[in-house]
Structure 1
Amino acid sequence: MRDWARELGFSQIGVAGVDLSTAEPGLLAWLANGFHGEMEYMAAHGVRRARPAELVPGTTSVITARMDYLPGNTPEGWQAIEFERLERPQEAIVSLYARGRDYHKVLRNRLQKLSERIAEAIGPFGHRVFTDSAPVLEVELGARSGQGWRGRHTLVLDRAGGSMFFLGEIYVDFALPATEPVGDHCGRCTACIDVCPTNAIVAPYRLDARRCISYLTIEHAGSIPEELRPLMGNRIYGCDDCQLVCPWNKFAGRSALPDFDAREGLVGQSLVALFGWSEEEFLRYTEGSPIRRIGHERWLRNIAVAMGNALRKGEDAGIRAALQARAGHPSAVVREHVEWALRQSGGAAVPSSPRPTGDAPNS
């Protein structure tokens, strides 16, 4: 099975059992704290996320699969290169995982092919494929099946592959021997907690999604809290900071697939250029991309925030003109963020971001 998985572009597979009962208290506490924000689907499924056999009746084992997503041509020192982008306020930053093809489609298709290969070998069996597409505790399953350990930023970390990978699962109705989990190798390092721009990692292994830039730019539908906007910098879709700073990511693997190669126009592009996309252009340029799911309105909202942050760093006639051109946008959300951005000229102070407290681990 490992050879088949590698042929399909997976870097590692593992097997977990279906008893995740020890994860239920943490999940319930995380939800009770409201750390899931507006992601109501997480609350709607409750503890079913920790009960694979209830989610898919008959499930006996879970096959987990890991797929690296750094493009094959990623140079050495890529972490420093990405940090340097954050120092260019007029440049738009899209999270590394979102610069290529939508990973949901890539993993789902290849997990299904892996299922078919297994069926050819053992005969028909009941299964269901998941990749960030249902109430599944992916990190928990990944850690239990030996894909790595849960880092303090709540993501799975592997000594030989860092954390720049996607996880997917195949729920199956036959028993497989579980693979062994690995130990924690974070030591005393707190780099991921210290670097978080919005202090979303409220404590080791505890993430308040409501403060996370990835959540704010992707999952959050309405107005972004004003106190968090200056902390977002030029990040317009997602945030990689906690992974960029992680020492283990110097070992991050490169993808064997061209699907995750960066699309032209999503790297090194100016905020003004992307803010100028019409809705038709947005849909055309993001076809087959995970970015399309946020829609044109959120796209403009996110870029408006980044443009306001750029104006805080210094006056820019091009950015100001682009914002003024959108001042009468039909969307109240876009108009409000544009108005905020235009008020940021003159080096407005960036508000402090006191570290919030919390007592529930990330799900």
Structure 2
Amino acid sequence: MLAAQAAPERLRTFIEQEARATGFDVVGFTTPDAAPAAPARLAHFLEEGRHGTMAWMEETAMRRAHPRTLWPDVRSIIMLGMNYGPDEDPLELLEEKDRAAISVYARNRDYHDVIKGRLKQIAGKLAARAGEDVKVFVDTAPVMEKPLAEAAGIGWQGKHTNLVSREIGSWLFLGSIFTTAEIPPDKTETDHCGSCRACLDICPTDAFPAPYQLDARRCISYLTIEHKGPIPHEFRAKMGNRIYGCDDCLAVCPWNKFAQEASEAKLQAREDLKEPRLTDLLALDDAGFRAFFSGSPIKRIGRDRFIRNVLIAAGNAEDPALIASCKRLLEDASPLVRGVAVWALSQLLSEQAFRDLAEKRRAVEADREVRSEWDYALGTETVDE
């Protein structure tokens, strides 16, 4: 028998020490069957179509709902969390309309890469010490991390459906280590939201049909990141200057005020992503976009969808200085970009100036959807939302 096969309690202590040394702020332990209500909640979410165009959620539903389907040999699940709370209130940036609001989590390196690297360090030491198999997962894998984190005692799923910690609030990156080792589990955390509705009431697009339920199709994070086509008209003005994600429901969580000091390994935001100017972002071509967002999660959505989001922010900015940049994008190679440039200009120009521009530009536009944007803005056609 391997001498390295430590007793379960000593193994727990070892993992906790390694987790903190590696940069994680919280760690908890659970079993694969510790979140029995999660599959039904996932099924309801999918049946209601609230996942929008995220077809991968349907395709991986079975593996996502049942960890043993993902890996039959798993006996214990280690859930780890990293505090990424901002140094300032991200909601203040929403008032600076010539600036772009990027979700706090996306202001530095792609956290998937960072966390996976740290998980592998811990998992490797666990495997060597216990003589057991391990697998690591970040949220790109079909793992229901938030219910499992709740079962592991790290926090609870708040009314905004995100995990809330009494020690860190709503700002947590999550990762997991599956293992064949038997490790004593923690007690499930209880719900401490009480009667608070702050996260529900602040949502700009009413994306919560009920407490603890999210309709992704109305969520700005989904619309700016996952949604591939034009943003439905009903949400454009409500997006304000949010160009990648939305932090509103996280930022108002009262539990944030109890957040402990983050570890020194916390990711620090890039200064140029804290409040970038819309004019600078609108100037990015594909090469410039890829270079500027190298190593960033933002790079994954591609330049055209990103510029789509920035143009909506420009349309909401009420700043005539943005008109020239938006006009230039009427010539863009992407119909997606040209279409939303039409909308942005309809918000920035006077009615007569916009009609004069439409008389010149609509006739030479070959794409049906872009022409439809012109017609919608002129009030001559209804766009299918």
Q: Does the TM-score normalized on the shorter chain lie above 0.5?
A: yes
Give the match for residue 9 of structure 1.
23
Please say if 1:332 is aligned against 2:335.
yes
Can you list the C-alpha shifts for 1:249-307, whole angstroms capped at 9, x where unaligned? 12334543566211132112211111112211111111111111111011100000111
Give the match for residue 119 of structure 1.
127
Q: Return the letter of the residue paired with 1:15.
A: F
Distance verdict in 2 for CA 1:303–1:49, change over 3 Å: same
Q: Secondary structure at the match of 1:129?
A: strand
| CA distance in structure 2 between the partners assigned to 1:252 and 1:39 by the alignment | 32
Q: Is the 8 A contact 1:15 1:63 kept in 2?
A: yes
* Normalised TM-score (structure 1): 0.89
Q: Secondary structure at the match of 1:203?
A: coil
Q: Return the letter of the residue paired with 2:38.
A: A
Question: Which structure 2 residue ranges, 5 or more long, are not aligned?
Answer: 1-14, 352-385
Give the match for residue 28 of structure 1.
43
Give the match for residue 344 of structure 2.
341
| CA distance in structure 1 between the partners assigned to 2:350 and 2:159 by the alignment | 34
- Alpha-carbon RMSD across the aligned residues, in angstroms, is 1.5
Larger deviation, residues 232-241 vs 252-261: 252-261
Q: Return the letter of the residue paired with 1:18.
A: P
Question: When you count helix as a share of all residues, which structure comes out higher?
Answer: 2
Q: Is the 8 A contact 1:16 1:178 kept in 2?
A: yes
How far off is 1:70 after superposition? 2.9
| CA distance in structure 2 between the partners assigned to 1:50 and 1:23 by the alignment | 7
Give the match for residue 104 of structure 1.
112
Question: Which structure 1 residue ranges, 5 or more long, are not aligned?
Answer: 349-363
Give the match for residue 48 of structure 1.
63
How far off is 1:188 after superposition? 0.5
Give the match for residue 184 of structure 2.
177
| CA distance in structure 2 between the partners assigned to 1:106 and 1:347 by the alignment | 47
How far off is 1:175 after superposition? 1.9
Which of 50, 66, 79 is the aligned partner of 1:64? 79
Can you list the C-alpha shifts for 1:35-60, whole angstroms capped at 9, x where unaligned? 11111111001232121111112111
Matches of residues 196-211 of structure 1 in structure 2 within 5 Å?
196-211=203-218
How far off is 1:183 after superposition? 1.6
* Normalised TM-score (structure 2): 0.84
Q: Is the 8 A contact 2:19 2:122 kept in 1?
A: yes
User: Using CA pairs below 8 Å that are at least 6 residues apart, which structure has the higher relative contact order?
Assistant: 1
Matches of residues 252-263 of structure 1 in structure 2 within 5 Å?
252-257=259-264, 260-263=267-270
Q: Secondary structure at the match of 2:331?
A: coil
Distance verdict in 2 for CA 1:342–1:286, change over 3 Å: same
Q: Return the letter of the residue paired with 1:326.
A: L
Give the match for residue 317 of structure 1.
320
| CA distance in structure 2 between the partners assigned to 1:294 and 1:27 by the alignment | 25
Which of 281, 289, 301 is the aligned partner of 1:294? 301
Give the match for residue 168 of structure 2.
161
Q: Return the letter of the residue paired with 1:286.
A: F
Can you list the C-alpha shifts for 1:167-215, whole angstroms capped at 9, x where unaligned? 1011111221111122211110000000000011111000000110000
Give the match for residue 352 of structure 1.
none
Give the match for residue 357 of structure 1.
none
Distance verdict in 2 for CA 1:230–1:133, change over 3 Å: same
Q: Is the 8 A contact 2:198 2:253 kept in 1?
A: yes
Give the match for residue 18 of structure 1.
32
Matches of residues 68-147 of structure 1 in structure 2 within 5 Å?
68-70=83-85, 74=87, 78-79=88-89, 82-123=90-131, 125-147=132-154
